[in-house]
Structure 1
Amino acid sequence: MNLSKSILLLFLATPALAQESAQELQYRVEAAATASSGTYAPLWLTANRFGMESEKPNSGYLRAGINWHKPLKRGWRIDAGLDLAGGVKQTSDFWVQQAYADISWKVLTLSIGSKERMGFPLEKNSELTSGWMAEGPNMRPIPQIRGEIKEFLPIPGTRNWLAFKGHLAYGMFTDGNWQEDFCGVNQTFAKKVMYHSKSLMFRLGNKEKLPLEFEFGLFMATQFGGDQYRKQANGSSKQTIDMPDGLKSYWHALFPTAGGEDTPEGEQVNVEGNMLGSWNFALNYYFGDWKVRATLDHYFEDHSQMFW
């Protein structure tokens, strides 16, 4: 792979703000083009961009979006956004990058739709990392219904020495048609696959008393349900497996349980669905306006990895 020549062109319109009764409207237009002489585009031009950049050496896109924020009474607020994109030599010619509505009350948020989320629950500096172990900003947003506490919430009675945050989400993968086009003869692919994720993080420490904090917690994600197909020689596709996707499957995704007779053999002896996750740790030290942060992700995809 020859990466001796690479060019990134980026044109970003300054977001326009409209203030009206404390509500805020933002819009932007963005265009980017990548040109290189290698087999693939350089990693640093494609990582942590939520699938907006292509791995191909020469590509480009045009993106336009609008965001709206509206504070309400008694701690309520509404956020909404729509982000459309089109590209050349991308996995799609046109796609909806974001389309979401967030309804929040104090620290609680219900988020519905596709939204770019930067590495929840373990925060990292996206300029200094190529991604997260279990789930991160290298893929396009997954449409989902998500309840979350975004920021650490102190636990009553601990005098701010112990706090927590977390989330619970269900959604659906939207790459079934792309898989069907990409697969070769006799290769298998899946459509209408469901998504589930959850996390719980704790923060130990009070930086107002001691400039040292320790964060620790668990993130898990699951693929379940959907239908498996096999690509035929004539270009058509034949369904081979109909995965269970009833209410019981949603419960098994939340609390890992071995599947029944209607699941593949591996899921009958292990757990239903494709489950993975990571234990997450961080150590923060504050001095003045500076902060030093060290993070550790311990990835797992079975019980032996989960418990070291």
Structure 2
Amino acid sequence: MKPLVLALFCVVTSLSAQNYQTESSFTSSGFLSNDTSPFWFYTNEFGRNDPTTDVLVLGETSRQFKLTETSNIKVNAGLLYQNGTSGKTLQIDNAYLQYTNSWLNARIGSFHQYIELDGISSTNKNILWSGNTRAIPGILLEANAPIKIWDWLGLDWGIGHYELIDDRYVKGANIHYKHLGAYIKLSDKSKLHFEIQHFAQWAGTSPRFGKQPSKVSDFIDVFFAKRSGSDDAPEGEVINALGNHLGSYNLSYTYTLDKGTLELYHQHLFEDGSGTALKNFPDGIWGAHLTFNNSILKAVNYEYIHTKNQNGFGTVSGNDNYFRNGIYDSGWTYENRTIGLPFIQPQSFYNPMGNSRVQGHHFGLLSSYKSFELQLKASYIESLGTYVQPFIPKRKALYTYAGLTYKTKNVGQFTIKTGLDILSYSGNLLGLAGSYKYTFN
């Protein structure tokens, strides 16, 4: 994939200098804490810093070329320095090409998820891919707008392939991704959205099970979540679906108010047939997001988090132990960070004491006045460990965060952040951070 990306970069940068826009930015941040940084300082921050980071510097640049009235190509690159414990002080933050037209949004390279729900959700509106890790290289094709079937019905779709290039138990594993959704117009002010998304880790080489099936026929089995027909598949993948499969049902209802918008949503996660049949109900995220027009208060968010059921313990299809897999023993992680819901720490080869059974509440708020913007987050989480290795007593945590940004007209923006974690199982954490960002064309 790397040679292809480099070739495409050369093609794009050789385009005519006409009809393009360039934007670059420089960000510098410093962190102080009594031990390690508070939870929301480093969580869902695209893996840019970790709990021990003191200094972070990020440089980004993008150039967008207009091809026609409805299509364009964008090239984006970012370089990151941070001095945490990851062992990689200088890193590529992102590097990708994007092609967009009226019906297609295509990206290739290493790119982050788009920020959803004003950046104050605990999952960025995706329980399986929350923006908690560095960008994973891949190719993603998705609808740029819903495909209109009737006046009241539109379809949404996406398909992608990613490569896990970090140091992990199964080297060279891939991720297959797809989603299909429907938008249903209920009235001029309300609509319903239902989506199913599917991820699967597959291929790669395991130190225990050897090389995993990776032929075209194996990909077809992965695509349809079928049992493996390959002779070199482990026994569990002959009995069950080939690969490590995860998915979610995403349901949302949106109502347009006179002075804002209300969105109610549920994200139900599953990892096997019992989950798709809702036998692990009510596991998932239950949320409400309210936005305001022409107001100091811009948005508020509430989410109820529940992953305790897992279809029970002691049943054949129970004890789902979310984000854990016996063959892909790094679990649903990238560079030892959870890819999905950040309150889950999956049990893995690198983390024998996992935590997949959690319950809690999350609150978020966004406000702005003139040149100031305020962001608040607070999460109360009870962690129970796993069914096999429970936390006794259960671990309770209150994660709080406040960030105040001042945006100037000519000299960039300044942000000060503070966080306090109150923990029942260790000492409390207090942190202070400051950052400066300058954007130029």
Please give the TM-score of this superposition, normalised by the length of structure 1: 0.78
Distance across 2 between alignment mates of 1:74 and 1:291: 30
| Match runs of 1:1-308 below 5 Å | 21-38=18-35, 40-56=36-52, 58-73=53-68, 75-91=70-86, 92-118=88-114, 123-131=116-124, 132-155=126-149, 158-159=150-151, 161-176=152-167, 179=168, 189-205=169-185, 209-229=187-207, 241-259=210-228, 260-308=230-278
Cα distance change of structure 1 residues 282 and 55 upon mapping to structure 2, 3 Å threshold = same
Superposed displacement of residue 302, structure 1: 0.6
Question: Separation in 1 of the partners of 2:71 and 2:159?
Answer: 20
Q: Conserved in 1, the CA contact under 8 Å of 2:31 and 2:37?
A: yes
Q: Distance in 2 between matches of 1:125 and 1:281?
A: 19
Question: Could you say which structure has the greater relative contact order, defined with CA pairs below 8 angstroms and 6 or more residues apart?
Answer: 2
> Quick check: 2:49–2:84 contact (8 Å CA) kept in 1?
no
In structure 2, runs of 5+ residues without a counterpart are: 1-16, 279-441
The answer to whether the 8 Å contact 1:149/1:167 transfers is: yes
**Contact 1:220 1:278 (C-alpha < 8 Å) held by counterparts:** yes
Secondary structure, counterpart of 2:28 in structure 1: strand
The Cα shift of 1:74 comes to 5.6
Distance 1:49 1:171 in 2: 20
CA distance in 2, matches of 1:98, 1:279: 29
Q: CA-to-partner distance for each residue in 1:56-96, whole Å, 9 max, x for gaps?
A: 3x433211111111111263210110111121014222211
| Contact 1:214–1:284 under 8 Å retained in 2 | yes
CA separation in 2, counterparts of 1:164 and 1:60? 44
CA distance in 2: counterparts of 1:255 and 1:280, whole angstroms: 19
TM-score, L = length of structure 2: 0.56
Cα-to-partner distance string for 1:118-177 (whole Å, 9 max, x where unaligned): 37xxx534213245321121111111112111333322xx12x1112121011201112x
- DSSP 3-state at the match of 2:144: strand
Percentage identity across aligned positions? 21
Moved over 3 A (4+): none
Alignment: residue pair count: 259
Deviation at 1:294, TM superposition (A): 1.3
Distance 2:34 2:248 in 1: 36
8 Å contact kept, 1:218–1:280: yes
Distance 1:154 1:90, change over 3 A: farther
- AA aligned opposite 2:132: N
Counterpart CA distance in 1 for 2:18 and 2:37 is 45
Is this contact kept in 1: 2:181–2:195, CA < 8 A?
A: yes
- In structure 1, stretches of 5+ residues that fail to align are 1-19, 180-188, 231-239
**CA contact 2:102–2:145 (8 Å) conserved in 1:** no
CA contact (8 A) 1:51 1:138 kept: yes
Task: Classify the secondary structure of the residue corresponding to 2:236.
Answer: helix
- For 1:130 and 1:194, locate their aligned partners in 2 and report how far apart those are by CA, in whole Å: 23
Distance 1:298 1:104 in 2: 30
Taking the aligned partners of 2:120 and 2:226, their CA distance within structure 1 comes to 38
Q: Contact conserved, 1:47 with 1:130, CA < 8 A, in 2?
A: no
| 1:194-234 Cα deviation digits (max 9, x unpaired) | 1110001111116xx5211111110111110001137xxxx
2:51–2:84 contact (8 Å) kept in structure 1: no
CA distance in 1, matches of 2:123, 2:215: 37
Residues 203 and 213 in structure 1, CA contact (< 8 A), matched pair in contact too: yes
CA distance in 2, matches of 1:83, 1:129: 25
